[in-house]
Structure formats: C-alpha cells, structure tokens
Chain A
C-alpha cells in the first residue's frame, strides 16, 4: 500500500512539474517561427492521436468496437451538420449506448 502511495505522489508531482515547466519556459523560445508553428501543431497531432487511440484501440491492440466506431461516426456527421459541441458529444455517446442496448459491440 505504501508503494502505491509513492507511485501516486510521484505521478502527481511529475505531472504537475511538467505542466508548470511549459508555462515557465521563456517566451523567446516561441519567437522562432518554426518552434511557434510546432507549438501550434502539437495539440492537433496529439488530440487527433488521442481520439484515434481512445476509439480504435484497447491496451496494446487495435480494437474496432462497432458501437464505439458508430459513436465516432455520429460525431463526424454532427460536426458536418455544424451541430454545437454538446450535441456532438451527446450524439456520439447516445449512438454507442443505443447500439449496446441492442447487443451490438
């Protein structure tokens, strides 16, 4: 149990330090056009990767769960129809939940 507490506190401290480091790094780092563009593109790359990993994998394997994929497809349709943010989320969750209620996925 003590070991787990150490892991919890080390993880929390490490995660916080990494966040603070980003805010503390001198702004002149961003003066370089290439670094600035990199910082702009990083969230695009990571959020796209997170969306893909969280919807198409499970652990270390590719896992194409039909209900989850249908939920993501519903989100894309809602986005194409210019639905507000919350409607997109609800459409995704409701689609996955409905399919599972009918035994899919």
Chain B
C-alpha cells in the first residue's frame, strides 16, 4: 500500500474503529444507569438505537432517576442534543450527504464522529473516518447498552475500571490537534471550559455545556473585527 494511502485512508478508519470501541463500551454504564433509574431494558435500548447521543441519553435518565419531571428531562436532553445541529452544519460541508443517505448519516452526527471526521486532512478521509466511527460506535454502543441493562446490578461499578474517564479523555485527545493549531482555538477551548464550569452550579445539568458555544461566537467575532 502506497504511503499516501496509509496516511489518508487507513488512519481515519483505524482511529474511528479505536474510538468507536473505546467509547462504545461505555454504553454499559448507560444501560445500567437507565435500568437503575427505572427504565425497562427496551426503553434503554430504544434511546441508544434512535436518540444515539450519549450525553442526552444520560441527561434524560439522570432526571428520571432523581424523580424530576419527564417533560424537563426530555427538554434538557433535546437541548443538549442541539450541539449536533451545529456539528451537522459543519459536517455537511465535508460529507456532502444527499438523498435518502442523508437520513442515515443524520443518525450518526455526534461528538465522536464529528471530531474524527474534522480531524482528517481531506474530504475522502473525513468520509471514511465518519463511516468507520459511526458503524463501530453504533454497534458497540447498542450492544453494550443491552448488556448493561440486562446485567445492571450484576457487574461491578464501571468506575472501578476507570470507564468514567474514557469520555473526557477521548474529547481532550480529539481536540488536542486543534488546540495546537492556533491561539484562537486555545482561547475558545478555555473560554468554553470556564463558561461550562462556572454555570454548572447555577443551571440544570446539560445547559452549561450548550452555553459554552458562546465562547465560539466570541472567538469568531473577535477574529473578524
């Protein structure tokens, strides 16, 4: 295989498969949390199959677990999913999905697939990375949700395996190249962190992360002064 093929095709697939497996297994934690909160196994699986966006799924289950209203739970979960709209806006520019295929691609627009796709040097590599991440993460996430829901209470705490650090460490690793790309990127990342942490005690779970997007607004406006 020529060196350039290794660089543009094999690497996005390898990274996507690796990320899909690594993050997908945390579906065990979601399945277990959902059933512990009072959802049935099928309700847990339906969320993973059709919502397929981890943070929103955890947000809904978290509200149900603490006895919050279902309306507030759904509203918070959907609001948290609004970042996927912004990802989709960005991905459409790279993936150019069309026709019925767009309906399937849409299901795969999440943090991890976006991060892998946008980390690639060109659109063909981005499409490979997106497809590999989506396919592997979707399968792993759904199978591990089922396993976690069925096995809830039987397995030990996911924390004992350090699985609660997998998500944040993956997000950090994925933005790392872009933190090195420019000062605006670093400032925006720090701004997003400050907004999210500062607002966490004041606002419902999930909302501070969405408001971190204001750091991106500020960065874009500042650059175009």
Contacts and interface: CB of A to CB of B under 8 A. Distances in A.
Interface string B90-119: 111100010000110111011100110010
B166 interface: yes
Nearest to A9: B46
Nearest to A78: B173
A55 B70 CA distance: 26
A37 B87 contact: no
Interface of B is mostly: helix
Contacts of B163: 93
B175 A44 contact: yes
B202 to A, nearest CB: 8
Contacts of A94: 162
Interface in A9-43: 9-16, 18-25, 27, 29-30, 33-35, 37-43
A5 B107 CA distance: 20
Contact of A19 (B81, B165, B196): B81
B124 to A, nearest CB: 18
Interface residues of A, number: 74
Interface residues of B, number: 102
Contacts of A62: 197, 200-201
A19 B84 contact: yes
Contacts of B73: 7, 11
A61 B162 contact: no
Contacts of A34: 220-221, 224
B47 A8 contact: yes
8 tightest Cβ-Cβ pairs between the two chains A and B: A22-B88, A45-B192, A49-B212, A93-B162, A96-B162, A92-B169, A49-B196, A71-B165
9 contacts: A22-B86, A41-B184, A43-B87, A50-B209, A53-B196, A57-B200, A72-B169, A79-B172, A89-B22
